[in-house]
A and B are shown apart, each in its own frame.
Chain A
Amino acid sequence: MDVLIYLIPAALFLGLLGLAAFLWALKSGQFEDLDGAAERILFDDEDDAPPPVRDDDR
């Protein structure tokens, strides 16, 4: 059962990683325009990085 000492932290870390990814996506505005995101993927020349977050987005 000693292996638990590694496995539990590993599982928690992976879970936290997922949570952090979700919070990051939320903060960087990726849920702001779901309709637009569906269309933008079809733009050929578009820089598909998320928009820089500015104060005025809130």
Chain B
Amino acid sequence: MADMALAGAPSPEIPAAYVRPLEDGEASVNFVVDGVHCGGCVRRVERAVQGLAGVTRGRLNLSTKRLNVCFDPQQVSADEIAGAVIGTGYGARPFDPRALETQQARDERELMIAMGVAGFAAANVMLLSVSVWAGHAGGMEASTRDMFHWISALIALPAIVFSGRPFFRSAARALRAGAMNMDVPISLAVILAAGMSLSETIAGAQHVYFDASVMLLFFLLIGRTLDMKMRARAALAAQNLLALRADAAMVIGDDGVARAMPVETLAPGMVVAVAAGQRVAADGVVTLGRSDLDTSLITGETAPVSVAPGTQVYAGTLNMSGPLQVEVTAGDDETLLSEIVRLMEAAEQGRDRFVRIADKAARLYAPTVHILAAATFLGWWLLGGLPWDGSLKIAIAVLIITCPCALGLAVPVVHVVASGRLLARGVLLKSSDALERLVQVDTLVFDKTGTLTKGTLALVHDGVDAMALEQAATLARASSHPLSRALVRAAGDGPTAEAVSEHPGQGLMGEINGVPARLGNADFVGADLQADAGGPEIWFRLGETAPRRFAFEDELRVDAAQVVSWATARGLNVLLLSGDRPQTVAAIAREAGIADFEGGMMPQDKIARLETLAAAGAHVLMVGDGLNDAPALAAAHVSMSPASGADVSQAAADLVFQGERLAPVTVALDIARSSQRLVLQNFGLSLAYNAIAVPIAVAGFVTPLIAAVAMSSSSILVTLNALRLRMGKAGIDDGRNR
């Protein structure tokens, strides 16, 4: 019975607003598909959708986990499409198409086009420049050289105007705000170099710097694009999170007919129907029906909670066994779920104070370069006795040679290599500055359920009678309740009892060899309630024999204790903060070797604790998975979430890790440390290069050839140095270390 309820989970009703009509009479709808992670998943989902009559296009994007379907609304409905996806075993959440049109996506596209154009220009101008440099030695005629300069100008000037826009815009914005950023000296150098080169070309002079300015733009755009890609990944997860609440609710009208309505329109007093397998759409009170709710999304508790008329329920919890009717007590923006999202946003604000190392460098760098160039100009003009235009040329050469080519690549290249290495070890880096923040970590805070533990229940075998277990399992096999499933896992395959009926929120009743048997909560089987030992439990009673108790516990991840001792050995302070019962938390903490723990914490308590820690000067790495952890994840200095965690936590976390083990936490800490070392080395290399090149430039000996060689060699050096990150070991060996 319960199995049926789950298998026949009703396809969600898609609100009309999420279906967008296209010009040719077709319509398009977008879903976020949960749980896809490989090509096989993509194929299964696409096949299922494309197999429906009337679907003209079904494309699942594996990077974004978004499915776009174009269909003929006459032949097939959006609900049926969602049903087809869910039928393949993946979750499908309708997605508001308006959220797809982000500024970020447009910016990324613009950067890539600019990079392509700059690359084209750099290659072709360099081709001409190399000929000119060779010509200096080999006696190229002045007229040929001038022609080459003109052609370079024709290619370079439009390319600079086009590809330089991201830098010019940002520089203008900074100047208007009275501030200074890296883009100001970049824009100045590029514009001055191009302007001077143009006037030199017109005058038929020997040296022009078109190649330097386009190459500079090209290198910087590579760095900028890499950086943007990393940020886009983070933004993506946040957008997918919005879809979590986009489900429709079945509202029962005064006439007793249920209608699908968008969640946003729910108001207190309305009655919504929640079928088994659906999530509760709004906070409210149960008016009709009994069932079990999976509240792990909100509380992080593994064991399901029984509900009956009068019980308070929260949006986002999953109804597992029986149909319910819920009277809404809070509108969509007042639900606990919305409250958690708000807490999270507020917590994130506090993080903005973090200054990235590249920005710190820029703050020092920009004024230094400007003062240096101005001093060179004034020095040659006033003291050196050069005419003003000659002095200006030397000053511009200083600007070009100091331009942060290597500096612009120093951080993004290391971060891209680091994120590639992390990905190979099952860690997804979501925020680009998380690596820098990881380095400062001195305190490790774990959540319990699903983080330190596997998040699945296992039977405690101590004192369990094998006979009773087998008998209880015959009843449990008829149910899809998590505790029944755990019991069956422990008992293995076997027969199912006769005449089993499920009483949602209470238990199962059936007959074993003609003797009536019950499996359920203590009340249901008639056991003494005072024997509460804590932790999830299930009771079994055959006929009038004494009730037997089966206890369950959440298993620790295999390497949890190892990770804790690794962290302690590193001098990190390890804490366990959980929303679960204090006894359970204490048991787990003992097993994992964590001395400092606290249970029964609400999301606000966790944030408060993190704030206390932060106020004491600690830099916290928070590792958590549930929705209840999301605000704490956002509030921590840096955060990680397992890929099995709630979407919200994954969105809030800076890093997401996959797999059964906890070792990725150690891997991330180690890789962050080595990448920080490489970033600093790269800054050192850039500085060393400047220390050599700047005096040459100030002395007025820089030619375009020297500028080009210096610029590209330092960029290549920095990139090669970053690649060293792929070597060496990181973290506890989890079998994936190369």
Contacts and interface: CB of A to CB of B under 8 A. Distances in A.
Nearest to B124: A15
Interface stretch (B53-61, B467-475, B514-522): B53-61
A16 B123 CA distance: 11
A43 interface: yes
A16 B116 CA distance: 10
Interface stretch (B35-43, B361-369, B546-554): B35-43
Contact of B42 (A1, A16, A19, A39): A39
B68 interface: yes
B22 A39 contact: no
Interface residues of B, number: 37
Given A40-B39, A56-B22, A26 B30 contact: no
Given A15-B123, A22-B116, A54 B101 contact: no
Contacts of B70: 54, 56
B30 A56 contact: yes
A1 B144 contact: yes
B513 interface: no
A26 B113 contact: yes
B246 interface: no
B127 A11 contact: yes
Chain A: interface size category: 20 to 34
Interface in A27-56: 31-36, 39-40, 42-43, 46, 51-52, 54-56
Interface in B54-112: 57, 59-64, 68, 70, 97, 100-101, 105-106, 109, 112
Contact of B57 (A18, A26, A52, A58): A52
Contacts of A58: 100-101, 105-106
Nearest to A8: B151
Q: Looking at chain B's contact residues, is the secondary structure mostly helix, strand, loop, or mixed? A: helix
Contacts of A56: 20, 22, 28, 30, 68, 70, 97, 100
Contacts of B68: 56-57
B62 A36 contact: yes
Contacts of A34: 63
A26 B116 contact: yes
Contact of A15 (B63, B97, B112, B120): B120
A13 B68 CA distance: 37
B97 A12 contact: no
Contacts of A52: 57
B117 interface: yes
Interface string B138-149: 000100100000
Contacts of A33: 61-64
A42 to B, nearest CB: 6
Contact of A23 (B30, B116, B151): B116
Contacts of B30: 56
B155 interface: yes
A29 B101 CA distance: 15
B101 A51 contact: no
Contact of B124 (A11, A22, A54, A57): A11
A12 B109 CA distance: 24
A11 B113 CA distance: 21
Contacts of B106: 58
A55 B127 contact: no
B113 A35 contact: no
A40 B43 CA distance: 8
B692 to A, nearest CB: 33
A55 B39 contact: no
A12 B60 contact: no
Given A18-B120, A19-B116, A32 B39 contact: no
B113 A23 contact: yes
A26 B63 contact: no
A16 B124 CA distance: 10
Contacts of B61: 32-33, 36
B47 to A, nearest CB: 10
B117 A40 contact: no
Given A39-B42, A42-B39, A56-B22, A51 B120 contact: no
Nearest to A43: B43
Given A26-B109, A56-B100, A35 B116 contact: no
Contact of A55 (B22, B112, B119): B22
Given A23-B113, A51-B57, A58-B101, A40 B120 contact: no
A35 B62 contact: yes
A32 B549 CA distance: 54
Contacts of A36: 39, 42, 60-63
10 contacts: A19-B116, A26-B116, A33-B61, A36-B39, A39-B39, A40-B42, A52-B57, A54-B70, A57-B68, A58-B100
A-B residue pairs, 3 tightest by C-beta: A39-B39, A36-B62, A19-B120
Given A19-B119, A35-B63, A36-B62, 13 more contacts: A8-B128, A11-B127, A15-B123, A15-B124, A16-B120, A19-B117, A26-B112, A34-B63, A36-B60, A40-B42, A42-B39, A54-B57, A56-B97
